[in-house]
Amino acid sequence: MKRLLALAGLSLSLVLAPSASAQEDQYVRIFNLIVQADALRADGKGRESLEKYLEAQDGLKKIQSAFPSWNVNVLNFRLKYITDRITPLMQQFPGTAMPKPILPPGTMDPLIGRISGLEKALFDKDQQIIGFRADKERAEAAMRDAEAKLREALAARPKDVDPAEMAKAQDRVKLIQKDLDIQKITLEQQTAKLSGLAKEKDALQKQIEDEKRELPMLKTQNEGLKRQVGELSRQVGALPKVQDLQAQLAAVKTELKATQVQNEALQKDNKKMETLLTDPGLATVDASKLKQLEKERDDLQKKLNDALKAGGEKKR
């Protein structure tokens, strides 16, 4: 009995222990390539995604060749997944070959890295499910064996036998029955764990699909933000610089001051002319001289008006 429980515990610990095999490390790197290829395809980069798919396909085939019995169902599923995507892309980009050298892992953006981590968790969950299924099958076989032994012990019990032999037979039946009960409990536990792992796997798969759907949307938003930044930078570059505006303001102030000085001089000349024209001492001045003075006055007045008008426009 203790031996059976010890074996069950050992098998459980082996299933739950993280795998560090070479083929698993290779498989995780190939997962990264598939995730990158999916992202490139969603972004409209068909040729680049085809190169990644071809690289991942080559890696999976190498694992199959080196480890023929390792996770056959998982590898076949992934190969079919890749083939379904390669076929239409090869029609669009004939002659595309796998790129060399292989890009090292860790060059993805954070979202792709998160998707890769989820794919790794999904792979680990597949491994656990495979292990628990094997444990369940062993538990079912052990239970069937215990049931057969129980039927054999009951059938072999003689009708007329001494009490000591009868007691031994009954003890053997009890022992087998107890073993059978333990096997039933183990089977129920394995079934429950398997069901829980299946739910966790479905949740991980859904999360991966959600992340992949989010990836192209984030890329689109990022491109939109880049365009907005470029447009704002262009608009800022088109605006006059502060130094230019200050220089223009200083020039306007200088010109305005010169106009004011000119206006003051014209006003003084106009006043002198009016004094000369209205002075009684100049009454003997002939008519031609008077007309000349009036003309000079009118000219000065016109210049003054023009200067005032020009100064007003510059102020505006």
Q: 85-103 pLDDT, tens per residue?
A: 999 998 888 877 665 544 3
Residue 9 lies in a domain: no
Alpha-carbon distance of 127 to 106, in angstroms, equals 24
What is the per-residue pLDDT for 3?
39
Give the residue with greater pLDDT, 109 vs 206.
206
Residue 303 lies in a domain: yes
Alpha-carbon distance of 184 to 83, in angstroms, equals 43
What is the per-residue pLDDT for 281?
58
What is the per-residue pLDDT for 155?
67
Q: Say whether both 102 and 118 belong to one domain.
A: no
The number of folded domains in the chain is 3
Range of the domain at 115: 109-218
Q: Say whether both 103 and 128 belong to one domain.
A: no
Alpha-carbon distance of 300 to 277, in angstroms, equals 14
Which of 107, 126, 147 terminates a domain? The answer is 107
Residue 6 lies in a domain: no
Identify whether 68 is preceded by a cis peptide bond (ω within 30 of 0).
no
Q: What is the CATH number of the domain that holds 67?
A: 1.20.58.80
Return the minimum-mean-pLDDT range out of 57-66, 257-266, 281-290, 303-312.
281-290
Residue 261 lies in a domain: yes
Residue 224 lies in a domain: no
Q: What is the CATH number of the domain that holds 180?
A: 1.10.287
Confidence of residue 84 (pLDDT cuts 50, 70, 90): very high
Residue 223 lies in a domain: no
The total of other beta-carbon atoms located within 10 Å of residue 57's CB is 22
Alpha-carbon distance of 31 to 222, in angstroms, equals 25
Q: Say whether both 115 and 182 belong to one domain.
A: yes
Q: Say whether both 102 and 81 belong to one domain.
A: yes
Beta carbons of 129 and 73 less than 8 angstroms apart: no
- With tokens 């095999």, the residue in question is 21
Q: Say whether both 146 and 208 belong to one domain.
A: yes
Q: Say whether both 102 and 130 belong to one domain.
A: no
What is the per-residue pLDDT for 106?
43
Q: Say whether both 205 and 271 belong to one domain.
A: no
In the predicted structure, residue 34 carries a pLDDT above the cut 60: yes
236-251 pLDDT, tens digit per residue, is 566 556 666 677 777 7
Beta carbons of 82 and 34 less than 8 angstroms apart: yes
What is the per-residue pLDDT for 32?
85
Beta carbons of 125 and 208 less than 8 angstroms apart: no
Q: Give the end-to-end CA distance of the chain in Å, rounded to a whole number.
A: 106
Instruction: Work out the burial of residue 278: count CB atoms within 10 Å of its CB; fewer than 13 is exposed, 13-18 middle, 19 or more buried.
Output: exposed
Minimal CA–CA distance to 43: which of 267, 289, 219?
Answer: 219
Rounded mean pLDDT of the chain? Answer: 70
Alpha-carbon distance of 190 to 196, in angstroms, equals 10
CA dihedral of residues 137, 143, 146, 147 (deg, nearest 10) = -120
Q: pTM for this one? A: 0.30
13-30 pLDDT, tens digit per residue, is 333 333 435 677 788 888
Residues in Cβ contact with 92 at an 8 Å cutoff, skipping those fewer than 6 apart: 46
In the predicted structure, residue 190 carries a pLDDT above the cut 60: yes
Q: Say whether both 200 and 126 belong to one domain.
A: yes
In the predicted structure, residue 294 carries a pLDDT above the cut 60: yes
